[in-house]
Amino acid sequence: MKFHHVGVACQHIQEEIEQIRKIHEVTEISPIVYDEEQKAELCIINTAEGVTIELIAGEQVANLVKKRISYYHLCYETDDIHAEIDRLRNLGAFLVSEPKKAILFGNRQVAFLQVSYGLIELVQLK
């Protein structure tokens, strides 16, 4: 697994982009997309510090936002999403979401697992 991004829950993506711009030098912002599979609006931001942030708004993160929790997940790229899911499950991870296409990542498959330190997303490398 290779670290890819941190997922941040927010109420409104455009407002969160403006808040992030006050703190970081933003070098790139993807279009905001709605992913029916994820039931969320999504956007990727890259910063000059080399940090990639995925902003997530909508039904998927509504309870977190209500509780003022913004941290959502860490994401890792993997060459073989199914093998990585099996490996993590054998280590005690719980599969939260089966692999499905993610519009934000060019329809590459993503899956979510709960591990000891929180929620992680796996994204298929190619």
In this predicted model, what pLDDT tens digit does every residue of 49-69 receive, in sequence order? Answer: 999 999 999 988 999 999 999
Taking a C-beta distance cutoff of 8 angstroms, is the pair 45, 115 a contact?
no
Residue-wise DSSP of 97-119: EEEEEEGGGTTEEEEEEEETTEE
What pLDDT digit, counting tens, does each position of 109-123 carry? 999 999 999 999 999
* 72 has pLDDT over 90: yes
- Helices (H), ranges, the chain: 13-23, 62-66, 81-90
Q: Tokens 């719980």 sit at which residue?
A: 94
How confident is the model at residue 33, as a pLDDT? 96
Q: Using alpha carbons, list the distances in angstroms from residue 77 to 26, 87, 123.
A: 22, 14, 5
Model confidence, pTM = 0.92
Q: How would you class 28 by CB atoms within 10 Å of its CB: exposed for 0-12, middle for 13-18, buried for 19 or more?
A: exposed
Q: How far is CA 70 from CA 16, 59, 93, 119, 126, in A?
A: 11, 14, 22, 13, 29
Provide the pLDDT for residue 6: 97
Q: Give the per-residue pLDDT at 38.
A: 84
